[in-house]
Copies of this chain bind each other. A is one copy, B any other.
Amino acid sequence: MAFKIGLLGLGTVGTGTAQILLDPSGRNPLLEELEIYRIGVRNPEKTRPIQLPPGAVTSDLESIVTDPDVDIVVEVIGGLEPARELILKAIAHGKHVVTANKAVIARYSDEIFDAANDAGVYVLLEAAVGGGIPVIQPLKQALGVNRIRSVTGIVNGTTNYILTRMQTEKADFADVLAAAQKLGYAEADPTADVDGFDAADKIAILASLAFGGRIKLEDVYREGISQVSAADIAYADKLGFVIKLLAIANREMLTDDPTDRLRLRVHPTLVPQTHPLASINGVYNAILVEGDPIGQVMFFGPGAGAGPTASAVVSDILNIAAVLTQNSFLKTHSSKLHPLLTCTHQHYCKIAPIEELTTRFYARFLTKDRPGVIGKLGTSFGNHGVSIESIVQTGFQGELAEIVVVTHDVREGDFHQALDEIRTLDTVDSIPSLLRVL
């Protein structure tokens, strides 16, 4: 029995996927059962670096998702449309779907999984988060026996590369971004990465799997890294921290109720240097999962790239093929889906607003160089119940004194009220940095 694959897209990930499928020796023997049957591309005339099955390539993508002979559709074209539409049409035609498309899944998982469950097909997405790192499947399966407390990830390689270089070279954001763009580590329009949109898509997907409920993408609080300065990285280092763009989903744990509210957020974060995520550098990704009774487990690896992402795509294909092989009736008879490969939750997770987050803060102030400024800052924080861990005048920026404050755990709303009061002080010039501390 061979399973026929319809591959949508032949960019870097599509090419990497084809390379694995066309060269199965030394890999899982089940790969021999997979056939690249049709390949949809924009330009069929283009010369490709790989030898493709003759006649497989077409520019008519819709003909692939409706082809009665195709068993599994692999969507690696990216972007919202026509990817979403092709996925839905493939499902409607009874195809199983493998996708690397975090943007589509984070926005349209409701309709996609509703359609898939109605049609009795699988939609797998290991490649959507963490590149080659197996994290989606462990969350669905091995870790699912735990009550998950938190998922904390470095899930965007571009921003981690930029922050790592800023740290090692003591360079500013704009300079490192420009260098990263030249090297191809950042897009010409870097918004999706540096403003945290990509990380928000990914934590929405991870949270949905970890906590077994649907997530509205707009519920993810999001800040990017463009405000992080070389000065902040240097102060963080002195205080024993590195700055990372973290994507965090955690249960509030205010009650014993395992369905209590979630906190979902993407923001630059001061991470203690001894924390497992602190040493994840460059384009690498890592996802740390905490649960009961497992404690902490972390998955680390290449977060992007043709080879790693293709590895994840093909592992999903393999999973579907394994289930189909196991029960050869499944292809023609309607049968129950494998419960650890499906996403069947219908309810939406309750999300706590960011104002109710409790966290430590790092803030950097520029003030006039007058006696009593630190006292005034301290008084304003005290007025709003914000307890200070340290407040240090670190030096001068021109005429202005620079003061760095680290708080104990405070309610985000209280902290911002204190800042509103501080902004009215005539001795305070500006607050150039405001970062949360893990």
**Would A301 and B301 count as touching, CB distance under 8 A?**
no
**Would B315 and A339 count as touching, CB distance under 8 A?**
no
The answer to whether A6 has its CB under 8 Å from any CB of chain B is no
**Would B322 and A293 count as touching, CB distance under 8 A?**
no
**Would A314 and B145 count as touching, CB distance under 8 A?**
yes
**Would B319 and A340 count as touching, CB distance under 8 A?**
yes
A interface residues, tally (CB under 8 Å): 63
Determine the distance from Cα of A339 to Cα of B322 in the docked complex, in whole angstroms. Answer: 6
The answer to whether A254 has its CB under 8 Å from any CB of chain B is no
Known: A142-B137, A145-B31, A315-B141. A307 touches B293 (CB 8 A): yes
Query: What B residues does A335 contact at CB under 8 A?
Result: 326-327
Query: What B residues does A302 contact at CB under 8 A?
Result: 294-297
Determine the distance from Cα of A318 to Cα of B25 in the docked complex, in whole angstroms. Answer: 31
**Would A300 and B298 count as touching, CB distance under 8 A?**
yes
Query: What B residues does A137 contact at CB under 8 A?
Result: 137-138, 141-142
Known: A300-B276, A326-B339. A145 touches B293 (CB 8 A): no
**Would A16 and B295 count as touching, CB distance under 8 A?**
no
How many copies altogether?
2
List A107-166 residues whose CB lies under 8 Å from chain B: 126, 132-134, 137-138, 141-147
Known: A27-B144, A147-B26, A315-B145. A301 touches B308 (CB 8 A): no
Query: What B residues does A340 contact at CB under 8 A?
Result: 28, 30, 318-319, 322
Q: CB-nearest residue of chain B relative to A315? A: B142
Query: What B residues does A314 contact at CB under 8 A?
Result: 145
List A8-54 residues whose CB lies under 8 Å from chain B: 16, 19-20, 25-31
Q: C-beta contact mask, A272-286 vs B, less than 8 Å → 1, else 0?
A: 000010010000000
Q: A299-B300, A325-B339 are known; give 17 further A-B pairs, CB within 8 A.
A: A20-B145, A25-B258, A27-B144, A27-B146, A29-B212, A126-B142, A132-B294, A137-B138, A142-B315, A276-B300, A292-B307, A298-B300, A299-B299, A300-B300, A319-B340, A323-B338, A327-B335
